[in-house]
Structure 1
């Protein structure tokens, strides 16, 4: 097994050898214009892989696997007969975790409520462009990541690039199965639902579809807010498309994407309906787990009524719908050195009894309820790189790697994976060298938090702490 450092050197030579297939990245990558608020958030959330560009190695990108993408990509999705059976299993993910003996011993983690082995670095696929070269970037990023033997968590979203990101992931699954004997049961796949989405390949408008639902009175105007809808009828439409786009019969995880409503009461009513919908999908063996993805909701102040999300209320809701063995098991939000509030701010309410409650951080309450945490945007779109993290704590040459390790090494049992964005091959492989590096020791992280004035609680929740406060 070659180390990633040697693979990178080989890839650099390949780039020089294939000059005739080179693309000028500045000419090939185009960005769809969006409103300023969404543009800022999406740039920070998903552009991490290109934030620390080495000009000598990354000023070009050659057309690797373009024929394979054309072969496996289905613009209309996959029929039921073409879909892959199965889902991530303990046996399959354990087999994957044993592929590369150079991977660090603490890299693969086991989420609460399962015996799976999931990589502590995941790959997301959000791109703003609909261009074919962007699909190729995502296609290669997924494949290169999985082939390291250190990334088996693949994240996408139905609204990313007009459904094409999900379809690229479907192509990736088939490429890996046909060429590398990496099967469906070795990979953990998540997607996101709830936002209006266009279908770029067919030219179908997501807004027009919502209009049809409103006209036929299948949903009400109150079910739609800021181009989002969490009504079961709309979620059913998106769920069917995800199965078709990715070409699988079962999804491992679906996030409710950036939920928001006009009032807190309507928000939790909408979430209850969505939770019930996804619990039914679990019963139908089309889904394993569901969760909530939010850029601000979990981290916001409690008095920000229109965006704040209480994890305790979501857990209570899931238990009311499906009991203690419900399938609400994951949350997702940004975490970086310049956005550490999930570690520091006690904005979540833990109800100890009918008479008493206390405030905790996201990590503390997630550990208490055994809700798994995945995070995104470890580089904050490159903004985090303006701060040099100390090499004596994070012993890596590149500041990029130090920041990724800051997030990846969060000392919490609830923390599973740090999701990075797709990007150019050499840049991505540099970051993926971290799979061969141990997590920063818990003691070192706590010392760094203290020195850096990041005031954290006990991220691995200890029941006795709160039992003592009850007395």
Structure 2
């Protein structure tokens, strides 16, 4: 209930960008977002085109309503339902990730139902660095080409508008480290699939005072020059959204408050939008005031 109250308050008081994922809270997050969107749009309180909605797939989800944890969901729904095969699953520790287009067809259809939307504005491949760690660059980028072809078709069908990568450490690592992702290589594949009119237009990565590699570390190569993640995205014509501005709550160390941390990130040149995890109305009010400069 807190999430629904918070989403409704935010949408009615100036927030216009919602970011979620099929695996958040055992699918409950998408369902809560969809419940509020459907209600507000039906009442005429907001219009669909006034809100950007992004969601993600790739990490094996659970389903809290069906009492399925991710391992059970993988077995009973995805494997026994013949949506994917065991060889499609790339595992690192407890993390399970897939790049198989059939999975994303299932995930997009499921997310659309949860969100009560005909079209998802931005669809992210969630933490693709997991699959990169297992597959290595050659096989990863080969599979990515097939997946991008699928996404471009999803755009043509009207199921999504744009697609991209939502990462944790993939774009921030050194190029020699396992799991490193090259923005230029990803865009080259998108161009190979769909030319200059491709729809890979968004990336997401953490940015806060503890994880500032995205603006300080020159680990991305574009046209032979080493630049930061933000600079690379700009050079390649894609938008940078960031997450974890409070470092998953660990940023509150007494040296900085929420106003300073959020303002620092949102005022960073090149940041299109910042994702803040919120459920209590009091926190949403506070963060809206910060963004409004109140």
TM-score w.r.t. length of structure 1: 0.58
SS, match of residue 432 in structure 1? helix
Q: Indicate whether 1:210 and 2:78 are aligned.
A: yes
For the residue of structure 2 that corresponds to 1:375, the secondary structure is strand
Following superposition, which runs of at least 4 residues in structure 1 exceed 6 angstroms of deviation? Answer: none
Alpha-carbon distance in structure 1 between the residues aligned to 2:243 and 2:188: 26
Please give the alpha-carbon distance, in whole angstroms, between the structure 2 residues aligned to 1:210 and 1:147. 37
Preserved CA contact (<8 Å) 1:385 1:403: no
Q: CA offsets per residue over residues 317-352 of structure 1, 9 Å max, x none?
A: 00000110110000001100121111110111113x
Aligned partners of 2:238, 2:176: CA distance in 1, in Å?
Answer: 23
Q: 2:258 aligns with which of 374, 381, 400?
A: 400
Structure 1 counterpart of 2:285, from 429, 436, 443: 429
Cα distance in 2 for residues equivalent to 1:284 and 1:229 = 22
Residues 1:234 and 2:106 aligned together: no
Q: What is residue 337 of structure 1 aligned with on the other side?
A: 209
1:325 paired to 2:197: yes
Alignment correspondent of 1:182: 46
Partners of 2:238 and 2:3 in 1: CA distance: 29
Where does residue 90 of structure 2 map in the other structure? 225
What secondary structure is seen at the aligned counterpart in 1 of 2:226? strand
Conserved 8 A contact 1:170-1:246: yes
1:298-447 matched pairs, under 5 angstroms = 298-304=171-177, 306-351=178-223, 357-386=224-253, 388-389=255-256, 399-412=257-270, 415-437=271-293
SS at match of 2:203: strand
CA distance in 2, matches of 1:287, 1:157: 14
Post-superposition CA distance 1:109-133 (Å, at most 9, x none): xxxxxxxxxxxxxxxxxxxxxxxxx
Partner SS state of residue 25, structure 2: coil
Q: Distance in 1 between matches of 2:84 and 2:280?
A: 42
- Can you list the C-alpha shifts for 1:253-274, whole angstroms capped at 9, x where unaligned? 1100001221122221222222
The structure that is strand-richer by fraction is 2
C-alpha contact (below 8 Å) 1:337/1:403 kept by paired residues: yes
What aligned pairs does 1:285-296 form with structure 2 within 5 A after superposition? 285-296=158-169
Task: String of CA shifts for 1:138-174, please: whole Å, max 9, x gaps.
Answer: 11121111111x2100111001122111111111112
Q: Secondary structure at the match of 2:65?
A: coil
The residue number in structure 2 matching 1:267 is: 140
| Count of aligned pairs between the two proteins | 282
How big is each residue's C-alpha offset from its partner over 1:424-470, in whole Å with a ceiling of 9 and x where there is no partner?
221221121023229xxxxxxxxxxxxxxxxxxxxxxxxxxxxxxxx
Name the larger-Rg structure: 1
Q: Which has the higher contact order (CA 8 A, sep 6+)?
A: 1
Aligned residues of 1:173 and 1:183 also touching (Cα < 8 A): no
Equivalent pair of 2:4/2:33 in contact (CA under 8 Å): yes
| Corresponding residue number in structure 1 for 2:37 | 173
Q: Distance in 2 between matches of 1:312 and 1:222?
A: 28
- Aligned Cα root-mean-square deviation (Å): 1.7
